[in-house]
Structure 1
Amino acid sequence: MTEAKSKPGAGRTPKGGTPKGEATRGQILDASEILFARNGYLGTSLRDIAHEAGVRMGLVHYHFGNKHLILDAALERKLALLRSTIEESFARGQAQAEEGRGRFGLEEIVAAFILPFLHAASTDSDPLRNYIVMTSHLMSSYRMPELRPILGKLSAVSQILTDQLRIHAPAIPENNLLAGVYLIEAALIFMVQDPGFLDDLSRDHHSVARLEDMASPALRFFARGLESLQEPSAT
């Protein structure tokens, strides 16, 4: 299908937008999250989005113009929520360590980053569920030139992990650090996309302890891998 060309101002909410218009935009973005999560970017058409949202094609064109702009708006919509969720996870881990209720080493740092993704992706009622699954699928299309600027915005989330590792594991050389973060993210993307893994988590998704038990082998694996990337101490 040939997508409609973008109109001036498409993809942006005009000042004074009506409540009905805002509601329609929300329906379209909700539908986009679901479909991009289920079928990916290339597997989703504007007609699919209109059908899922229960609106006419003309309204999709009016509010966004084309699929590229829908994707941009869908990614921007909850990016701040995802960032704050990960930042709060790190803040809790650090606070617990400072209060003497645990430590905050490499395994805890990896857990603070990974567990919020897994918890949200395996909980139907979580507002980030479809968003996280959507972005994990979209990362498979990262090499598409038109998508790279949009998906590049997600680097602000991975930067949280990178910055924490720089602080708490300064012995890891920069090249090794970036390689380690890349591998952790790649594995996380696979776990989020794997329906079987998510189904196992979802059977009792209200139990944080169970979630941590299932994820603990991966957390230990990542932590030991990061340890191996540190430069040996000078003797």
Structure 2
Amino acid sequence: MTEMGTSGRYSTSTKGEATRNRILDASEVLFAQSGYIGTSLRDIARAADVRMGLVHYHFGNKHLILDAVLERKLDLLRGTIAASFARAEAGGKFGLEEIVTAFILPFLQAASRLDDPLRNYMVMTSHLMSSYRLPELRPILAKLSVVSQILIDRLREYRPDIAERELLAGVYLIEAALIFMVQDPGFLDDISAGHHSVARLEDMAAPALRFFASGLESLKGT
């Protein structure tokens, strides 16, 4: 395999871009499967079928690879959640349960479909949230706040009487539970009996969604 041009420098051609994307694809899968700490640059090079030198050339180090992997599909994730809220609002009734459902269900749906372009990405980000204390990851993970902000803004609009501190605590608990549900594939298998249709997931996740909505409702006026 060669990436060298006549000038002796690595090519920035389509071939180079394809190599970069192979590294990102492999990294996304590995970070989803083993987490950030459990994945090495050697693992990434092997999975992408490239030399270590190319990994270093294109990205430099592991946390810069992670940053690129997260950035690559962040707009897709944010757009998916925003579209879920738009559909829920168009459906007529739009209370706390619908707000919570519009936020959570896209994560469960994507994580349960092997061919969903966001599946590994969502599992990966759930693993990353468990490593938020690593200094090099904090600026990267902070970028995910744009997704959480969608839920926070809708809750503020619907329940302006909930104190900010209480609202943020409620969102944190919802996200903590969601991280576990997405991070552990066995959970989705259990709640859907291995049949991950949208209707099945909605049906089996309904108790959890009602639980979260009731918890938020209890914060009213606190």
TM interval, shorter chain, is over 0.9
Q: Which among 44, 61, 65 is matched to residue 70 of structure 1?
A: 65
| Whole-angstrom distance in 1 between the partners of 2:118 and 2:145 | 17
Structure 1 counterpart of 2:6? none
Q: Deviations over 1:145-199 (max 9, x none)?
A: 1110000100000000000000111121111100000000000000011221132
Structure 1 position 204 matched with structure 2 position 199 = no
Structure 2 counterpart of 1:37? 32
Q: 1:129 to 1:202 in 2, by over 3 A?
A: farther
Q: Deviations over 1:73-121 (max 9, x none)?
A: 0000000000000000000000111xxxxx1100000000000000001
Q: Deviations over 1:49-87 (max 9, x none)?
A: 001111111111111011011000000000000000000
Structure 1 position 155 matched with structure 2 position 145 = yes
Q: Which amino acid aligns with 1:115?
A: L
Structure 2 counterpart of 1:9? none
| Whole-angstrom distance in 1 between the partners of 2:132 and 2:123 | 15
Q: Is there any run of 5+ residues in structure 1 with no aligned partner, and where?
A: 1-15, 98-102
TM-score when normalising by structure 2: 0.92
Instruction: Find the residue that maps to 2:167 and give its secondary structure.
Output: helix
After the TM superposition, which residues 1-235 of structure 1 pair with which residues of structure 2 at under 5 Å, given as runs? Answer: 17-97=12-92, 103-200=93-190, 201=192, 203-205=194-196, 207-231=197-221
Q: Which runs of 4+ in 1 moved over 4 A?
A: none
Instruction: Find the residue that maps to 1:70 and give its secondary structure.
Output: helix
Shift of 1:204: 2.5
How many residue pairs align between the two structures?
Answer: 211
Aligned-residue CA RMSD in angstroms? 1.3
| Whole-angstrom distance in 2 between the partners of 1:170 and 1:96 | 22
8 Å CA contact retained: 1:122, 1:202: no
Shift of 1:17: 3.0
Instruction: Find the residue that maps to 2:205 and give its secondary structure.
Output: helix
